[in-house]
Structure 1
Amino acid sequence: MIDGIGDDGLWFRIETTSAAAAARRGAERLAAQLQLGEQRTADLAIVVAELTSNLVKHADEGVLLLRPVRAEGQAGVELIAIDAGPGMADLVGSSRDGHSTAGTLGIGLGAIVRQASWFDAHSVPGRGTVLVVQVWPAGRQPAPGWAGGLVRPLTGETVSGDGFAVRIRDGRHQLLVCDGLGHGPLAAAATRAAVQAFHTAPAAPPAAIVEHLHRSLTHTRGAALAVAELDRSAGIVRYCGLGNIAGALVDEAGGRRGFVSLPGIAGHQRRTVREYDYPFDPGSIVVMHSDGVADRWQLANYPGLSSRAPLVLAAAVLRDAGVRRDDACVLAARAA
């Protein structure tokens, strides 16, 4: 945790200028703790100001997620702006200085792109916009990740019982989604234990990882969880789940094939652990989520989303299918 902001991040509901100011102060505190540097902290402040200004002026149900992001011994700041506003038909055109849809100067998106170390976005008229921005120390240019996810706590809670993790171990590209039993701190503790055990587990297929997690959670209240492995050379997704974690393979045309999870609670009850293999084509996407996300989303409803970064896809699914009465987590990964 960094100055009150853990790796899951801190959500801001951006409806007023005071909320926008709170988000900017939070970003500056996080930048100071991460030693982002004076110039990049100033650049970050510009990004936050433009993102929040857009949310206040143009968005419906606009929210901003602020969190640290790490790679290869360095840390940066990641911002994810999500809204259900009017959207933009021409996102590329809207990022050019001087473009405006509401009588403003139209420099917001252009300024964001210039200050960002990495930027990606998706927008559909009438459905809203997702913007993802990373600001890293000077000289660092991160590549888009092969997987990305986000977590949102139940309304009224400060911590989420849901979580995810991603790792590459001995060439194995593996994903974890976990839903700690119940809500609040005890559920979050179960998920933290699962994430830690996942990161320290030996390189092994998903079924062996799930067995390891089951043994590692006996001191907690338990969790539903699933592990997926993307074997790109074999063209196979290996999947093993216990409990109500949903997983699916989505092709470029938007077709979905659901994964099988067996009944059980990792750490307490598991009648059997079984791994299933699913063939995939290049360009397919694996999407996993907790039961805090309704399984009603269809990628075909989001033109162009399959070509965006996995994190952008995960954020769009969370926005449209996440439920407020439960913790929610979405994780997406590109199969190729």
Structure 2
Amino acid sequence: MNLSVFQKAKKGNYHCGDSYFYIETEDGFLCALADGLGSGELAKESADAVMKVIQWNPDLGIEALVKKCNQALVGKRGVVLGILRIDFHTGTYSYSSIGNIGVITIDADGKRSRNIPLAGYLAGYPRPLRVARGKAEKGMFFLMFSDGVNDRRLSSELTRTRSVEQITHRYQELYGQFREDDTTLIVMEYD
């Protein structure tokens, strides 16, 4: 996997309330992005708590990970969460998004698909979950982003370069100064 990240705190804030984690093994790849509700230190605390759960349990399925993350949020602010898993042996991907974590897939031919996240957030009580699945193809891109990223700005022109570094660098150049919210853009290429 090739990966590049652009992340900045909300204008005027020291702490970014978004946290992410990724790991690649011989068997597959896992990437998660959490946006703590609100901004600042308390938002960061919730987002970091969820990322620690995922770090400690990278082999769990998406459903089990979300359940454990939800348990870690009892007594804390909630989070919105996106998780992407790619299985190298089966050549498949799966992802789930709760709240306003966006996921866009772009196949090798440039065809884009935008997920519709499940409404709501995790805050320590049971939630329904929807997991999207598909075939991972060589050259396929996955964009995962928090609500600080305006998905209209992730145009086909911006992603045409087919380089993860160029996409995040160009996004930062064009829009990095306009941050009304914590902003995280993770661009991944299945290679």
* TM-score category, normalised to shorter length: 0.7 to 0.9
Deviation at 1:329, TM superposition (A): 0.4
Query: 2:86 is matched with which residue?
Result: 230
Corresponding letter in the other structure for 1:232: F
| Per-residue CA distance 1:303-324 (angstroms, 9 max, x = gap) | 7621x2x244233334445642
Asked whether the 8 Å contact 2:30–2:58 carries over to 1, the reply is no
Task: Indicate the SS of the match to 1:296.
Answer: helix
Deviation at 1:159, TM superposition (A): 0.9
Q: Partners of 1:271 and 1:188 in 2: how far apart?
A: 22
Q: Partners of 1:171 and 1:184 in 2: how far apart?
A: 36
* Root mean square deviation, CA, Å: 2.2
Query: 1:297 is matched with which residue?
Result: 153
| Per-residue CA distance 1:93-124 (angstroms, 9 max, x = gap) | xxxxxxxxxxxxxxxxxxxxxxxxxxxxxxxx
| Per-residue CA distance 1:268-291 (angstroms, 9 max, x = gap) | 455302222022321011110001
Asked whether the 8 Å contact 2:28–2:89 carries over to 1, the reply is no
Query: 2:35 is matched with which residue?
Result: 179
Query: 1:262 is matched with which residue?
Result: 118
For the structure 1 residues 303 and 272, does the alpha-carbon distance in structure 2 shift closer, same or farther, using more than 3 Å as the test?
Answer: closer
Asked whether the 8 Å contact 1:226–1:242 carries over to 2, the reply is yes
Corresponding letter in the other structure for 1:217: L
5+ unaligned residues in a row in structure 1: which ranges? 1-144
For the structure 1 residues 271 and 294, does the alpha-carbon distance in structure 2 shift closer, same or farther, using more than 3 Å as the test?
Answer: same
Corresponding letter in the other structure for 2:61: P
| Per-residue CA distance 1:102-150 (angstroms, 9 max, x = gap) | xxxxxxxxxxxxxxxxxxxxxxxxxxxxxxxxxxxxxxxxxxx622213
Corresponding letter in the other structure for 1:284: M
For the structure 1 residues 290 and 298, does the alpha-carbon distance in structure 2 shift closer, same or farther, using more than 3 Å as the test?
Answer: closer
Corresponding letter in the other structure for 1:277: R
| Per-residue CA distance 1:220-239 (angstroms, 9 max, x = gap) | 20100110012233332200
Match of 1:329 among 168, 171, 184: 184
For the structure 1 residues 298 and 226, does the alpha-carbon distance in structure 2 shift closer, same or farther, using more than 3 Å as the test?
Answer: closer
> Are positions 1:197 and 2:49 aligned together?
no
For the structure 1 residues 296 and 202, does the alpha-carbon distance in structure 2 shift closer, same or farther, using more than 3 Å as the test?
Answer: closer
Percent pairwise identity: 23
For the structure 1 residues 206 and 317, does the alpha-carbon distance in structure 2 shift closer, same or farther, using more than 3 Å as the test?
Answer: farther
| Per-residue CA distance 1:58-98 (angstroms, 9 max, x = gap) | xxxxxxxxxxxxxxxxxxxxxxxxxxxxxxxxxxxxxxxxx
Q: Which has the higher contact order (CA 8 A, sep 6+)?
A: 2
Q: Partners of 1:315 and 1:194 in 2: how far apart?
A: 27
The structure with the greater share of residues assigned to helix is: 1
Q: Partners of 2:52 and 2:99 in 1: how far apart?
A: 19
- Aligned residue-pair number: 190
| Per-residue CA distance 1:153-199 (angstroms, 9 max, x = gap) | 11100111012110135723000111100011101111111121111
Q: Partners of 1:283 and 1:251 in 2: how far apart?
A: 7
5+ unaligned residues in a row in structure 2: which ranges? none
Asked whether the 8 Å contact 2:158–2:171 carries over to 1, the reply is no
> Are positions 1:287 and 2:111 aligned together?
no
Corresponding letter in the other structure for 1:317: Y
